[in-house]
Amino acid sequence: MLSKKTMEASLLFMLLLACTAGAKFHFASYYADHMVLQKEPSHAIIWGFGDPGSKVMLTLSQNHNIVTKMVQIEENCETWKIMLDPVAQGGPYTIEVHQYIKEEVSNLSLKDIYFGDVWICSGQSNMEMTVSQIFNASKEMEDASKYPLVRIFSTALIQSEVELQDLGGVNLQWSIPTARNLGHGDFSYFSAVCWLFGQYLFEKLKYPIGLIDTSWGGTPIEAWSSKKALNECGLLDYIERSPPLYLDAGPREVSVLWNAMIHPFINMTIQGVIWYQGEANTLMNTDMYNCTFPALIDDWRKAFHEGSDGQTNKQFPFGFVQLCTDQHVQISGKFPRIRWHQTADYGYVPNKRMSNTFMAVTIDLGDNESPYGSIHPRDKRTVAYRLHLGALAVAYGEKSIVFQGPYPRKVEVNETHRLLNITFEECVQLRHMDNKTFEVCCLNQGTCSWKPASIVSSSSYSVILQNPTCSDGIKGLRYAWSGWPCEYKQCPIYNLQELPAPPFITFSQNNPAWILL
C-alpha cells in the first residue's frame, strides 16, 4: 500500500504534467520574491520558460542603479537562461523580466531579492525533522524574527522516473522565517538542521543566506543518485524487496528523487550542500556506501557545475552528518559500518577520495527518550553547530577552525606489559575511564575476536589501554564501533573544542601507524 506522502507526491506530479502543458512565459518554480541568489565572485543564474523565438530582457535594479541583460530563445526551445554579472552581498534588489514576441510584451518580476550564499540541504528524515520537533523548539521558533536575512525554501515530495527540468511542486516558497513556517508539522518543513546551520553561518558571516530544503524520510542513497552515479558503483538494480526502515518509508527506486528533487536545481548557482542520510542504507547495500556516497558527491558537483554554465564551483563544499545512534535497530554492526563508509573508509574527511568535504560526528548525541524514536535525536542544534565549523574551515577557508575530533596517528603495542598506547593528532580530553568503547582484535582461527580494552591512563596526546590476553597477539583496534557507543555527550575522548573523536578501525598488518614493541 502506498503511504500518504507517496500518494500526495504522485498526485502533485500528475498535476505538474497537466499544468505545464502549453505553459508560457514564467520563471522556473524556485524563483520568487524574498529569495537569495548566489553572490560574487560567482554569477547568479536566472532562468525560466517562454515562447520559442522571443527575446527576453532582464533588469536588476537597486535604488537608481540598473543593470540590463538580454537573450533570445531559440526557435526549437522553450527555456531562457540569463547569467547576471557578479553582485556583492546585500540587497534588496528588484528583478524585472520582459518577453518580446512580435508586438506582444509579457512581464515578470521578483522583489525583495538579496545576494548571499545559497546552500542545499538534503537527505532523509533527520534532515526532514522540523524546528518544532527539536529541543527548545518554542524558543528556537520565537527567535526566527532575529534572522530576516536567512531565507528559506522547501520542495514538495515528488518522485519521477525521468529527470525533470523543473520542480513538480513547492511546499514552502521563498520566505522570511517565522515561527509557523519553521515548524509547520512533524517531518514537514522547515528542516531544523538546515535552519540552524544557516543561522550559525549568518551569525558569523553577517550577510544573507539562502536555504533550500529538499529531503524525504526513509529514503536510501540510491533514490538520490543519478543512474550515471550508480553505474560508477555497478549498482543500477535496486533491491525492492528490502524491508522498510520505517513504517512510512519514502521511495526506494533508483534515481527517482535525483530526477525530481535535485536535478531541477542544477541550473542554479549554489555555494554548497549539506547532507544527512544513511539510516536507510543500514538495511540495504550497506557495504556499497563507500562507493555510492563519494559517487553521489562527484556526480552532483559535475551536474551543478555544468548546469550553471560553470558558475557553481566544480568542487563545491559538501558537508554531511555522520550517523548518530539507534537503540532499536536489531542489525548488528550496520550503523558503525555505514559511519565508516561515509568517509570512504578513511575515518575522517577531507581525504584523498572525498576532497572539500566536512563531517559532523554525532555518535554522542543519542536520544532514547525522543518521541519520534531514538533514530531521530532531538539535539539538532549541536549537529548544526558541528556542521558549521566544518563549513567555516572548508567552504570559507578559516584554517584555524578545528572542525573534527581527535584522530589516531600512531598505535604502539607493548605485549610484554599488555599495554597499547594510542597517539592522536591533537590534544585530547579524557572524560571518563571507559572499559568498552575501545576493542582489540584477537585472532581466533583466522578471524577477529573483538575484546574490550580498558582505558588505564592518558596524557595530552595519547590514551593508554590495558590489553586483554591474545594468544596470537593484537591484530587490530577499533573505537566506538557499535550502534550506541556512548551516552549523551559522554564519549571517552574529545578534543579541547569539545568535539568527539570519530569512530575508527585499524589493523596491524602492513600498517606503518602500528609499532610493535
How high is the mean pLDDT of the chain? 90
Alpha helix (H) residue ranges in 4-59: 4-20
3-class DSSP assignment, residue 70: strand
Dihedral of the alpha carbons of 503, 218, 154, 179, in degrees to the nearest 10: -80
pLDDT of residue 3: 43
Give the integer Cα–Cα distance in Å for 54 and 207. 37
Higher pLDDT, 323 or 1: 323
Which residue is listed with cell 523580466? 97
As beta bridge partners, residue 215 has: 123
Instruction: Tell me how far apart the 2 most distant CA atoms of the chain are, in Å.
Output: 93
Give the integer Cα–Cα distance in Å for 73 and 97. 13
Give the integer Cα–Cα distance in Å for 108 and 58. 9
Helices 192-205, 380-394: axis angle to 10 degrees equals: 50
| Percent of the chain whose pLDDT exceeds 90 | 77
> Binning pLDDT at 50, 70 and 90, where does residue 10 land?
very low
pLDDT of residue 66: 87
Segment 197-220 shows an average pLDDT of 97
Using the predicted structure, report yes or no on whether residue 1 has a pLDDT greater than 70: no
Using the predicted structure, report yes or no on whether residue 387 has a pLDDT greater than 80: yes
pLDDT of residue 329: 60
Give the integer Cα–Cα distance in Å for 208 and 118. 9
CATH architecture under which domain 115-396 falls: 3-Layer(aba) Sandwich (3.40)
* Contact predicate 38/310, CB 8 Å: no
Give the integer Cα–Cα distance in Å for 97 and 106. 8
Looking at domain 26-114, does it have CATH number 2.60.40? Answer: yes
Using the predicted structure, report yes or no on whether residue 280 has a pLDDT greater than 90: yes
> Binning pLDDT at 50, 70 and 90, where does residue 516 land?
low
Weakest-pLDDT range from 13-17, 29-33, 69-73: 13-17
C-alpha cell at 412: 604502539
As beta bridge partners, residue 61 has: 66, 94
Give the integer Cα–Cα distance in Å for 261 and 259. 6
Dihedral of the alpha carbons of 412, 415, 418, 423, in degrees to the nearest 10: 0
3-class DSSP assignment, residue 395: coil
Give the integer Cα–Cα distance in Å for 155 and 40. 26
pLDDT of residue 237: 61
pLDDT of residue 474: 83
C-alpha cell at 25: 512565459
Give the integer Cα–Cα distance in Å for 156 and 173. 10
Question: DSSP string spanning 267-325?
Answer: TS--SEEEEE--GGGGSSSGGGHHHHHHHHHHHHHHHHHHHTTT-S-TT--EEEEPP--
Give the integer Cα–Cα distance in Å for 408 and 426. 9
Segment 377-398 shows an average pLDDT of 97
Using the predicted structure, report yes or no on whether residue 83 has a pLDDT greater than 60: yes
Q: What is the pLDDT of residues 479-512, one digit of tens each?
A: 999 999 999 999 999 999 999 999 999 988 767 7
Using the predicted structure, report yes or no on whether residue 137 has a pLDDT greater than 90: yes
C-alpha cell at 470: 591474545
Alpha helix (H) residue ranges in 167-287: 179-182, 192-205, 221-224, 227-232, 256-257
DSSP summary character for residue 338:
H
Domain boundaries, the chain: 26-114, 115-396, 408-507
Alpha helix (H) residue ranges in 342-415: 380-394
Residue 369, burial from CB neighbour count under 10 angstroms (0-12, 13-18, 19+) = exposed
pLDDT of residue 103: 83
Segment 298-320 shows an average pLDDT of 98
Is pTM beyond 0.75? Reply is yes
Which residues lie closer than 8 Å to 18 by C-beta, 6 or more apart? none
pLDDT of residue 316: 98
* Contact predicate 384/423, CB 8 Å: no
